[in-house]
Structure 1
Amino acid sequence: MKYISYNNHSFKKTKYYGRLSKAQQDDFDLLSNIFYFKTNNYVLDQLIDWDNLETDPLFRLNFLHKNVLSEADYQQLLSLYQAGASIEVLQPFIELIRKKTTPQIPYDEKCFPTAGGERIKGLYRSFNNVISLFPDPMLKTCHAYCSYCFRWIAFNNSEVQSYTSYKDPQTPVTYLKANPEINETLFTGADPLTLTAAKIKEYIDPLLTIDSVTTIRFNTKALTWWPFRFTTDKDAKNILELFKHIVASGRTLTFCAHLTHVKELQNDNVIEAVKNIQATGAKIICQGPVVEGINDTIEDWVNLWSQEVALGLQPYYMFVELNHNAEASFRIPLAKAVHIFQEAEKRVKGLQQPFNGPVFMNDVHCVSIDEVTDDNDAKQFALKCLASPYAESEGQVKHIPYDKDTRSAGNLVEMFMPEEHSKP
């Protein structure tokens, strides 16, 4: 299959746009002019159930839903549009909504590596032994976009990309050599595996000259958004050879697949891609968020984890959506997330370990959540800091009042920030 991508304009020229109801078409027309939209022919042809769009999780995963906006903004926008206002006329209002829904991501200055007093662009170190690397071309796009992605602001935004990335492949070398405790480099993005193998290799080879770097990791959605990347694409052989090259250097190559629903793995193309990746010596681990309307049942996670294990993949993290978007989101009540994780884990326990979750990743701390009962038989949420740029924070447990309906644990950055580093 030849890769064909579609944006909000070109999708409307496909036969699939005509299969949307009038309400779904209105939603698509409006929302895809606020947020970036991208899909491809594989997703359209083989993943989405076009006869059951209202309940299809893969449609919800790729196509935006009105709950990404506040009810008031959505209704006002829809009313104006249905009254005949063009997208051009609505543009000022759209820009206001876009600003309101821009993710507010917490950072800590400690996480930005420096050299000579200047920040090294494109490097982010939230944990002691791991550093995230953002080469410029890896921030640009994915094979298709997830509707709940909080990094949408970086897509097609040259200013954001320039400020948060590096172009020279040698950029991280000096810092890594000066900090040998860093043994894992993480490439994320957007999606690093949208690039050609030759371009990726340019950024990998300098790292292989550093003895202290023992693990190379890719965070990617390519496995299920475009499995042909590892099977029949003209560059498929090259990317698999690159994986072998990394493994042959003595490094551990971790292929971290971002998965949301078992339907993504129930496809012969994906199964073939998994086998090809595994044959290179790469280790495939899996992570993804629990999100409303897509995978927020116990059965969803039992099925997903079971299929991962059946394919020789390692379930790794179940994430909880953070409140990066103050207007609306795909978050579910924390009590429901904990219940889903605990019950699903019981039913697949023994297949493969470990399972980690539910876990918040707030770009500073990695925090797990659980329910506990105190001495007075009162329920609480127990929050444990699993990893942090501050060693003294790791392992700390904080308790907050139990509320079966709350979708927020509060400000986790401040909660686990050592007092001497807290802002007054």
Structure 2
Amino acid sequence: MSPSAGRRFRAYTSKHLDELTARAGLGEDERLAVRAVATVLPFRVNSYVIDELIDWDAAPDDPIYRLVFPQADMLPAEDVARMADLLRQDAPRKEINAAANEVRAKLNPHPAGQMDLNVPKVDGQDPLEGMQHKYRETVLFFPKQGQTCHAYCTYCFRWAQFVGEPDLKFASGEVDHLVRYLKENPQVTSVLFTGGDPMIMGEGVISKYIEPLLEVETLESIRIGTKALAYWPQRFVTDPDADDTLRLFEKVEASGKNLAFMAHFSHPNELEPELVQEAVRRIRATGAIIRTQAPLIRTINDDPEIWERMWRTQLRMGMVPYYMFVERDTGPQDYFAVPLARAYDIFRDAYKNVSGLARTVRGPSMSATPGKVCVDGVTEIAGEKVFVLHFIQARDPELVGKPFFAKYDEKAAWLFDLEPALGATHFPYEEAPPADVSALVDPARA
């Protein structure tokens, strides 16, 4: 294994940006622009990513570098110039934060109506913080100790969790509330721990969240959404509590519930280190199933050969390709987004070259307000060129699996950029969407 395999975790933050971007060959003005972007969007990386994943000879064009380091043109030029001027003037931190918050407010910090998905009141109590219920069978839980990551992706749609503004965060330390909610709503069969990254927590903390769920009879699966395999595989191999963590995974499987490890891999280079491969072997040995997912990101993985190589490698390692996402309508979407027509071409060109075992992957999929919408293709019907779409998952379960059509638009990058096709005046999800999350608890309200 690499020399860094057993090292203690070391994080690098915005105070290290100048020296790191200088290492990438950026000039003084370029480095200032990057620091300006980092006053608005979060930056965090660690020694493993720095030493093992980034090819510094290729930086700043190296894909992993671009995956974790802010780019000067990720924000509108006028906003970058404003923040750079404040840094140049050594303005007070309060003034910089106020200006940064004004820029953040324009970036749709909570896409897909996330703040409207908080679990509703139970027994007259206040809404349960840190829990979201978007689909009838699935609840998301945000453990408060897991609201950071080993490193931040520049494209992350949950960037608002990491900028230090309490009003933009949602998290909970009350697992008892989650257990009670599950018992009162047996239609919920799956819990997804997310954040941030739950695997930033030590075993002693994460077990306090997971073990109580093993007693909920109606719960079928526990999911953990994480980038740890890519950004800190030591978590499962050489960290002091690695073995205890794996024993916790075994306990979940022994309880008769499925443990789904939702691994985020954005580029095949993240799969190359021997340490990652050993971590995957150890997790799979517990009985957990590793499913892989990532968004399609311009300048980083917008090439079918990259996705084909990534899916083939994941399959050989025993993982299950699961999702190709479309970059969400938040943060620097204009910088990273790939138009839907191009996204479909990339997906299809990669998909057609892999075996059926890798065709478990779905996409390109948009996690939008009404649900997960998949672009199935482009075709012509009655002389009109259209996108063919369907809901993989939906807040209204009746929409799932039913095809619908949108006018072809080569520039459209998100569901709400599209218009109904074939004479329709609205999309199916616009007819009678659930008014709020309470409809997922009480079907009579839907």
Show structure 1 runs of 4+ deviating over 6 A. none
CA distance, structure 1, for counterparts of residue 25 and residue 39 of structure 2? 17
Give secondary structure in 2 for the equivalent of 1:410: helix
Tell me the residue number matched to 1:266: 272
Tell me the residue number matched to 1:210: 216
Tell me the residue number matched to 1:419: 431
One-letter identity of the residue aligned with 1:61:
L
CA distance, structure 1, for counterparts of residue 333 and residue 135 of structure 2? 29
Q: How does 1:6-405 map to 2 (within 5 A)?
A: 6-12=12-18, 17-22=22-27, 23-75=29-81, 77-78=83-84, 80=85, 84-86=88-90, 88=92, 91=96, 92-107=98-113, 109=116, 112-117=119-124, 118-138=126-146, 140-155=147-162, 157=164, 159-160=166-167, 164-325=170-331, 328-362=334-368, 364-405=370-411
Deviation at 1:235, TM superposition (A): 1.3
Scaled by the length of structure 1, what TM-score is found? Answer: 0.91
CA distance, structure 2, for counterparts of residue 398 and residue 67 of structure 1? 36
Scaled by the length of structure 2, what TM-score is found? Answer: 0.87
Deviates more, 1:375-384 or 1:99-108: 99-108
Between the two proteins, the alignment pairs up a number of residues equal to 417
Deviation at 1:297, TM superposition (A): 0.6
Give secondary structure in 2 for the equivalent of 1:170: helix
One-letter identity of the residue aligned with 2:132:
Y
One-letter identity of the residue aligned with 1:314:
V
**Structure 1 residues not aligned, in runs of 5+:** none
Tell me: CA distance 1:270–1:416, structure 2 relative to 1, closer, same or farther (3 Å).
farther
Q: Contact conserved, 1:309 with 1:351, CA < 8 A, in 2?
A: yes
Tell me the residue number matched to 2:8: 2
The superposition leaves residues 181-203 of structure 1 with CA deviations (integer Å, 9 ceiling, x where unpaired) of 21111101000000011100101
Tell me: CA distance 1:210–1:104, structure 2 relative to 1, closer, same or farther (3 Å).
closer
CA distance, structure 1, for counterparts of residue 110 and residue 386 of structure 2? 27
Give secondary structure in 2 for the equivalent of 1:374: strand
Deviates more, 1:179-188 or 1:290-299: 179-188
CA distance, structure 1, for counterparts of residue 415 and residue 165 of structure 2? 33
Deviation at 1:212, TM superposition (A): 0.9
Deviation at 1:87, TM superposition (A): 5.1
The superposition leaves residues 32-71 of structure 1 with CA deviations (integer Å, 9 ceiling, x where unpaired) of 2222210100100110011111321100000011332123
Give secondary structure in 2 for the equivalent of 1:284: strand
